[in-house]
Amino acid sequence: MSKAPRTLRLILGDQLSPEIATLRDANPTSDIIFMAEVMEEVTYVKHHQKKIAFLFSAMRHFAKALSENGFNVAYTKLDDPLNGGSLNSEIERAIAFYEIEQIIITSPGEYRLLQIFESWEEQFGVPVLLLEDDRFLCTKSSFLAWAKSRNNLRMDAFYQFMRKTHECLLENGNPVGGKWSFDTENREKPDPKMKIPTPKSFEPDEITLDVIELVKTRCDAHFGSLDNFNFAVDRSQALEVLEEFITERLPTFGRFQDAMIENEPFMYHSLISLYLNCGLLNPLEIIRAAENALQKGSAPLNSVEGFIRQLLGWREFIRGIYWLKMPQYKELNFFGADRKLPDFYWSGNTRMKCMAQAVQQTRQYGYAHHIQRLMVLGNFALLAGIYPKEVNDWFLTVYTDAYEWVELPNVSGMALFADGGLFATKPYAASGAYINRMSNYCKTCHYKVSEKNGETACPFNYLYWNFLKKNRSLLEGNIRLKMSYRTLDKMTGEKLQIIESDSETFLSSLP
């Protein structure tokens, strides 16, 4: 009988799922389950302090649970004096120490790491087996096949394909409620007097307190506050967050999906992305929980469909786009934008109330909801012509749920249109009127949303027209912008000059 090769199974910080492919046929006694906290992952962008604390605590809880289940876990902490600082150096050390003959890894979420892992076989002289990450509901190859069968890449068509594939919200093969999307019922204006449920929070245990101290000492120059750390850090707590969302927030989620209220950072959103993206929750269990709420009558269809569309549609679609288009996707800059990221993206120090609110809550919680990311922070970066790489680095740094596979297409594709419209039919550019419609921010803002030009006018107003004017040759053929260009064409030369000079004055004053 031949002896099985001594196997190291690497689990990354965003692979904390008991069902991860890496563990599937593991031999608990002879295989080494390897995990490492390394400075290279902490600093390739200087992640938000709460993200690092969250992920390290979740990694340590996961490792502990594996050990308790009889696995042979080798775990390097960040402050281990022998820690070499990168996954590369830690694997090299482990191969020598445990006399490893084979490495097994589930494919990573980022192209950067895939390249490193693909080089290991040659570098270390041991076979490296890369497994499919089947926690996603559409494999890379099924996405490729779907994309090849289409003339264009549109999320709504992909979403229908996924609904059918996973038999989700279907009635005799047709969509429940007679249509695939209820997005027109997801755009209600907020009522600032609404009583929004307080999100579930968890007292830090010993493991989390240790990690918070570690992050305080090693990462104090990173963006974000560590104060009041109250995230879930293991699977059972993450399931409690999901349960709270399904019962308390999902019923109202649909109506106010796009709404923003001053000092209400969470609205009716699920706050699950950080747990889902690191593997503590899996997408299908979340989708089935939402479907179940519809069947029980505890949540309406516009909420359940609206929520499932984000997970089964947008999340899987965005990941498909990433793997379809990397590595070129990262370099795209359709508008040739070259402005530096203004300092207020870090400090929150701006008189634009919408921007200040979004940045301040990002600093505090590592969280902003979709419309804040897209129509406030992203919209401003688009209109101001900020260099896509700087915008991408910022988004990857500041959110607790940020990994390049999901951050990059959302930023470069959806918010900045830097891919020239690979999947968005037009840029998500908007004037202050949109933000005013969907929030109460403008009521207390230094700037006046009703004013189009001048020192106290809302900057989004003139920047919007300036953006369209400046990028005319690239955009005027877009059918969905016909109306906007018609309006622009009706403006007098004097008006256009004022728009341009207000924009120049404002943009050149940016810190």
Strand 174-175 with 102-106, pairing: unpaired
Q: Which amino acid is at 272?
A: I
Q: In the set 42, 168, 226, 415, which binds ligand DLZ (CB under 6 A)? A: 42
Q: In the set 41, 264, 407, 502, which binds ligand FAD (CB under 6 A)? A: 407
d(CA 446, CA 379): 19
d(CA 74, CA 11): 10
Query: Considering all CA atoms of the chain, what is the largest pairwise distance in Å, rounded to the nearest integer?
Result: 88
Strand order of the β-sheet with 102-106 is: 73-76, 32-36, 7-10, 102-106, 128-131
Q: In the set 268, 323, 403, 460, which binds ligand SF4 (CB under 6 A)? A: 460
Q: Which helix (H) or strand (E) holds 103?
A: strand 102-106
Residue 174: φ, ψ to 5°: -105, 160
441 in contact with ligand SF4 (CB under 6 A)? yes
423 in contact with ligand FAD (CB under 6 A)? no
* Among the residue ranges 32-40, 341-349, 440-448, 460-468, the one whose residues contact ligand DLZ (CB under 6 A): 32-40
Q: In the set 7, 13, 441, 464, which binds ligand DLZ (CB under 6 A)? A: 13
- To ligand DLZ, the closest distance from the beta carbon of 367 in angstroms equals 16
113 in contact with ligand DLZ (CB under 6 A)? yes
436 in contact with ligand SF4 (CB under 6 A)? yes
Residue placing its CB nearer to ligand DLZ in the complex, 22 or 350: 22
Q: In the set 23, 442, 475, 499, which binds ligand SF4 (CB under 6 A)? A: 442
Q: Looking at the DSSP assignment, which residues form a beta bridge with residue 237?
A: none
> Alpha helices, DSSP H only, in 31-135?
39-43, 49-68, 87-98, 111-124
Q: Which residue has the tokens 């890496």?
A: 22
- The binder of 315, among ligand FAD, ligand DLZ, ligand SF4, none, by C-beta within 5 to 8 A per type, is ligand FAD
d(CA 392, CA 416): 10
Q: Which residues between 286 and 345 bind ligand FAD (CB under 6 A)?
A: 307, 310-311, 314-315, 318
Q: Which amino acid is at 487?
A: T
* Among the residue ranges 8-16, 70-78, 353-361, 393-401, the one whose residues contact ligand FAD (CB under 6 A): 393-401
* Among the residue ranges 95-103, 226-234, 400-408, 441-449, the one whose residues contact ligand SF4 (CB under 6 A): 441-449
* Among the residue ranges 52-60, 150-158, 397-405, 440-448, the one whose residues contact ligand SF4 (CB under 6 A): 440-448
* Among the residue ranges 41-49, 243-251, 312-320, 366-374, the one whose residues contact ligand DLZ (CB under 6 A): 41-49
Residue placing its CB nearer to ligand SF4 in the complex, 233 or 458: 458
Inter-axis angle of helices 283-296 and 301-308, nearest 10: 170
352 in contact with ligand SF4 (CB under 6 A)? yes
Question: Which region, left, alpha or beta, applies to residue 225 given φ > 0 means left and ψ of -120 to 50 means alpha?
Answer: beta
430 in contact with ligand FAD (CB under 6 A)? no
Do 475 and 427 contact (CB within 8 A), yes or no?
yes
Closest CA to 306 of 191, 189, 185: 185
Closest CA to 59 of 85, 33, 31: 33
Number of residues assigned to the chain:
511
- The binder of 38, among ligand DLZ, ligand FAD, ligand SF4, none, by C-beta within 5 to 8 A per type, is ligand DLZ
- Report the first-to-last Cα separation within the chain, whole angstroms: 70
56 in contact with ligand SF4 (CB under 6 A)? no
Closest CA to 387 of 419, 344, 418, 355: 418
Q: In the set 17, 22, 110, 460, which binds ligand DLZ (CB under 6 A)? A: 110
Q: In the set 300, 378, 421, 459, which binds ligand FAD (CB under 6 A)? A: 378
Give the CA distances from residue 153 to residues 148, 157, 261, 358, 496, in Å, rounded to whole numbers and listed in that order.
9, 8, 33, 30, 35
- To ligand DLZ, the closest distance from the beta carbon of 78 in angstroms equals 7
41 in contact with ligand DLZ (CB under 6 A)? yes
* Among the residue ranges 139-147, 226-234, 367-375, 500-508, the one whose residues contact ligand FAD (CB under 6 A): 367-375
- The binder of 414, among ligand SF4, ligand DLZ, ligand FAD, none, by C-beta within 5 to 8 A per type, is ligand FAD
Residue placing its CB nearer to ligand SF4 in the complex, 137 or 383: 383
469 in contact with ligand FAD (CB under 6 A)? no
d(CA 249, CA 262): 18
Give the CA distances from residue 349 to residues 89, 197, 335, 357, 450, in Å, rounded to whole numbers and listed in that order.
40, 29, 27, 10, 23
Residue placing its CB nearer to ligand FAD in the complex, 54 or 120: 54
The binding site for ligand FAD (CB under 6 A) comprises 269-273, 276-277, 307, 310-311, 314-315, 318, 369-370, 373-374, 378, 395, 399, 401-402, 406-407, 410-411, 414-415
